[in-house]
Amino acid sequence: MTLRNILLHPDPRLKKVATPIAAVTDEVRRLADDMLETMYDAPGIGLAAPQIGVTERMLVMDCIKDENASPRPMVLINPEITWESEALNVYEEGCLSIPEHYAEVARPAEVEVTWTGLDGKIQRERFDALWATCVQHEIDHLNGRLFIDHLKPLRRQMITRKMQKLKRELARA
């Protein structure tokens, strides 16, 4: 497994619509391993392939935060939201591509998602609470959308300017 470099906003690669994965190959399985490793190392609870510069429809997540509970690493290939609740839930979101910035985002409180698993089989599950927020946040990434795109323009521009400054500083270091 290899730790991958996480792209930081703003980056044109984070704005692209990712392409579906045609088949679960060894390469796809390796990518999933790398993404999980990179996500746990960050640490984060979700990571989408575009965040490591791979414009393909795959995401990983594990929203178990209790250190005494067993982890639940999930790999979702070509995920689609097939149902969403009318009820919304507001969560203070963050993103590994926008470190140290957090903002409240309202999203459907529950969603049903269908995806292809690493075994090539179609899976379906209903997510709620943090899992629902996380899976929607990550699917947004596959469509070139960031959580700050849900915010008012002024707030989004402020965060983007701070990120540009951070990237300039990192480039100089």
The residues annotated as belonging to the active site are 138
d(CA 136, CA 147): 10
The DSSP bridge partners found for residue 54 are none
Asked if 60 touches Zn ion (CB under 5 A), the answer is no
Give 51 or 116: the residue with its C-beta nearer to Zn ion: 51
Question: By CB under 5 A, which span of 8-16, 25-33, 93-101, 108-116 interacts with Zn ion?
Answer: 93-101
In contact, 60 and 75? CB cutoff 8 Å: yes
Instruction: Report yes or no: 61 and 38 within 8 Å, Cβ to Cβ.
Output: no
Choose among 98, 75, 92, 97: nearest CA to 133: 92
Q: Which is nearer to Zn ion, 28 or 95 (CB)?
A: 95
Which one of the spans 33-41, 53-61, 87-95, 157-165 is the region binding Zn ion (CB under 5 A)? 87-95
Site for Zn ion contains 6 (CB under 5 A): no
> Does residue 8 belong to the site contacting Zn ion (CB under 5 A)?
no
Token readout for 73 is 């690493």
CB of 141 to Zn ion, least distance (A): 6
Provide the minimum distance between the beta carbon of 119 and Zn ion in the complex, in angstroms, as a whole number. 26
Is 95 a binding residue for Zn ion by CB under 5 A? The answer is yes
Distance CA 37, CA 42 (A): 9
